[in-house]
Amino acid sequence: MTHYLESVVDIARQAGDLLKEKFNEPHTIEYKGLINLVTEADHASEERIISKIRETYPDHDILTEESKGIATGAVFRWIIDPLDGTTNYAHGYPVFCVSVALERKGEICFGAVYNPMLNEMFFAEKGAGAFLNGKRIRVSDTEDLTKSLLATGFPYDVRDSRENNLDHFNRMAVNAQAIRRAGAAALDMAYVAAGRFDGFWELKLMPWDTAAAWLLVEEAGGCVTDLSGSPFFLDAPHVLASNGIIHRDMVDILMKSRDGA
């Protein structure tokens, strides 16, 4: 494990363990939108992560969800979600994670997604594979969409926007074995990498939601694109991740529901 990957894993673990310690405490909740919230735990986790990065790599840039971050045009950029699954966390539902990725010259090279409640550390290095607690992981070998367990989520503007994933969900629900909606996109994608889910899609995500998990899926042998099957890029608003085998079938269904077919 390179020192960069060690740092990514260590930083994700420190932040996740902090979240676990605070999990059963009363939370201060603020609203960024009608159903988009943030807690004091998000801020505490983010402060821990940024402090550690600045201490170890003071010349690196940082992109994060809850604050302005640092943008100087450095070769390295950290992309972090200090608490993915804030709504779950605020309600005492123990499904959430920390996502930490390190990008070099525009390419995600290292990533970790940490679920502190289960002590599960998913991590990957570009070209070196994906791992869960040190054991190599692979995507599933499910070939038939009708036998696939999928995951998805809904955007924060689900009440106001017509592009809210309900049409995709309705069509996919009658073509897959089952769909889960757990509320933590990075963790859902990590589960695709580990073969627990066969596929995942979601609309209107941000770079910190997908950066580390994108690397995990690809290093585990899976496929990540946009909903139409075109190459994924960090600022793409929509993402489709799968074991690769059912990918084309998922694209076909998503495009049909989008077109109203």
Q: In this predicted model, what pLDDT tens digit does every residue of 108-148 receive, in sequence order?
A: 999 999 999 999 999 999 999 999 999 999 999 999 999 99
In angstroms, rounded to a whole number, what is the distance separating the alpha carbons of residues 53 and 10?
Answer: 11
In angstroms, rounded to a whole number, what is the distance separating the alpha carbons of residues 250 and 199?
Answer: 8
| The domain boundary residue, chosen from 71, 101, 136 | 136
pTM to 2 decimal places: 0.94
In the predicted structure, residue 156 carries a pLDDT above the cut 70: no
In the predicted structure, residue 158 carries a pLDDT above the cut 90: no
Of 42-46, 245-249, 253-257, give the lowest mean pLDDT range. 253-257
- 199 and 115, same structural domain? no
Q: Sheet harboring 135-136: ordered strands across? A: 61-64, 76-84, 97-104, 107-115, 120-125, 129-132, 135-136
Please give the pLDDT value at position 33: 63
- 124 and 158, same structural domain? no
Please give the pLDDT value at position 89: 96
In the predicted structure, residue 100 carries a pLDDT above the cut 90: yes
24 against 38, higher pLDDT: 24
Non-local (6+) Cβ contacts of 80 within 8 A are 46, 49, 50, 62, 63, 64, 65, 98, 99, 100, 101, 208
Q: Give the model's confidence band at 258: pLDDT under 50 very low, under 70 low, under 90 confident, else very high.
A: low
Please give the pLDDT value at position 202: 95
- 111 and 53, same structural domain? yes
Q: In this predicted model, what pLDDT tens digit does every residue of 196-228 receive, in sequence order?
A: 999 999 999 999 999 999 999 999 999 999 999
- 220 and 114, same structural domain? no
Number of structural domains in the chain: 2
In angstroms, rounded to a whole number, what is the distance separating the alpha carbons of residues 18 and 195?
Answer: 28
In the predicted structure, residue 189 carries a pLDDT above the cut 50: yes
- 7 and 130, same structural domain? yes
In the predicted structure, residue 170 carries a pLDDT above the cut 80: yes
- 157 and 96, same structural domain? no
- 131 and 196, same structural domain? no
Of 6-15, 23-32, 107-116, give the lowest mean pLDDT range. 23-32
Q: In this predicted model, what pLDDT tens digit does every residue of 72-91 receive, in sequence order?
A: 899 999 999 999 999 999 99
Please give the pLDDT value at position 35: 58
- Domain of 37 in residue numbering reads as 3-136
- 191 and 97, same structural domain? no
In angstroms, rounded to a whole number, what is the distance separating the alpha carbons of residues 213 and 189?
Answer: 6
- Check which CATH number belongs to the domain holding 107 and give it: 3.30.540.10
| The domain boundary residue, chosen from 136, 168, 191 | 136
Q: Give the model's confidence band at 261: pLDDT under 50 very low, under 70 low, under 90 confident, else very high.
A: very low
Q: Give the model's confidence band at 9: pLDDT under 50 very low, under 70 low, under 90 confident, else very high.
A: very high
- 48 and 150, same structural domain? no
- Check which CATH number belongs to the domain holding 200 and give it: 3.40.190.80
- 92 and 7, same structural domain? yes
Q: Pull the structure tokens for residue 75.
A: 């070769």
Q: Residue 41: how many CA atoms within 13 Å on its side-chain side?
A: 28
